[in-house]
Structure 1
Amino acid sequence: MLEKPASYNIDLEQYPTDANSASTLLTEAYMDGNILGKTVIDLGTGTGIFAIGSCYLGASHATGIDIDPAMIEISRRNAEPFPCAEFINSSISEVHGNYDTVIMNPPFGSVIKHDDMPFIIKALEIGTHIYSIHNIKSYGYIKEFYSERMRLIRQERIFIKVPRIYPHHTEAYHEIESLLVYGIKN
């Protein structure tokens, strides 16, 4: 079980990726041949679930990026058994390099419209194989943007299970209809 923060920052649209959604994404990336022996980057890593899962599945190196220093500290503690994982406190705009696989559950743009776009643009800049989760409500725009820049391989409907973490949440858990997207950069 991964350590979670005592509180989340709504302005950063911090929502934890539930274990079922994370395992679905990681299993698909692994089965596609894009984890084992690969360099993986997890943009907006939060508690480190994708980077740690990538190490567990045999990534040669996994990097987790998050702008929130508290999340980076939690990620580092969570990853102690996995020496292939590295966590960096940085904004997405400061990320550089080339990675075999980009994995992300970016902000959905619910609080700040199009807040997911810097993540998408960065993924296309630094990665070859891109796995991303998006709110189904914004997918028309996202699909058009992706289609012009990468070959869409798979789009799968999933439900992100979000716990009650903010004052405006009224249910113990809420499921958000989402899409898991996999594509290869052109």
Structure 2
Amino acid sequence: MSTKSQLTQQLGVVAGFDDPRVDLEQYRTPPDLAAHLVHRADLEGDIEGKTVVDLGCGTGMLALAATLRGPRQVVGVDIDRDPLETARANARRVGSTSGVSWVHADATRVPLCPDGPTTVVMNPPFGAQDANRHADRDFLATAAGIADVSYSVHNADSADFVEAFAADNGGEVTHAFAAEFELPRTFDFHEDDRRELDVEVFRVDWGEDGD
């Protein structure tokens, strides 16, 4: 198994969005954050030999990180077709021996019924845009329906919300860790060339078969 640092380096070739959409809050997940999340998930036994589903996969950062840790299969789901084309190119750049099924669909109404142990990984919209308010709730609801466990990135200070949502839907937050999300200047309304956002990653155990 590669180290977390090696995984970060391997993900450095993953390209971001050619024409990011503000309404979908499309930002490239930083390679170090993706490597940290997937490395932790792998240490918990949630990647190797499992089905891994990346909800709102964008250009494939989390999905491709998972392919490098021996999953049974990986599925990336995104509502925007263009980033999926970039994700396919990124898969060739990363050179993983595990393929990815890229699915053009709404990640909150995902047309999937995974067979066997399933882990969801996701970096859902934080709700900075009005149209995306509570979008992370919809992503968590999808995870509750299809996954045994999920790993998701949220704004800092989201613990009360995630824990309450998990409890209301038969799940339990078993692990949480703080991280940083490096946000480069992407849209015209961004005032800084680069910002560091404080985020939290949560592991939720949804019970057997996501029930």
Q: TM-score of the superposition, structure 1-length normalised? A: 0.94
Pick aligned residue for 2:101 from 86, 93, 111: 86
Once superposed, which parts of structure 1, at least 4 consecutive aligned residues long, lie more than 3 Å away? Answer: none
The whole-number CA distance in structure 2 between the counterparts of 1:173 and 1:139 is: 26
1:93-132 matched pairs, under 5 angstroms: 93-98=109-114, 100-111=118-129, 112-132=132-152
The residue aligned with 2:172 is 151
Amino acid of the structure 2 residue aligned with 1:129 = V
Pick aligned residue for 2:34 from 22, 25, 41: 22
Amino acid of the structure 2 residue aligned with 1:70 = D
SS in 2 for 1:34: coil
The whole-number CA distance in structure 2 between the counterparts of 1:53 and 1:30 is: 11
Which structure has more helix as a fraction of its residues?
A: 2
1:174 aligns with 2:195: yes
Question: Which stretch shifts more, 76-85 or 60-69?
Answer: 76-85
Question: Which stretch shifts more, 36-45 or 87-96?
Answer: 87-96
User: Alpha-carbon deviation of 1:106?
Assistant: 0.4
Alignment coverage as a number of residue pairs: 186
Amino acid of the structure 2 residue aligned with 1:158 = A
The whole-number CA distance in structure 2 between the counterparts of 1:164 and 1:37 is: 38
Identity %: 29
Which structure has more strand as a fraction of its residues?
A: 1
Question: Which stretch shifts more, 16-25 or 90-99?
Answer: 90-99
Structure 2 gaps, min length 5: 1-12
Amino acid of the structure 2 residue aligned with 1:68 = D
The whole-number CA distance in structure 2 between the counterparts of 1:165 and 1:157 is: 24
Q: CA RMSD in A?
A: 1.4
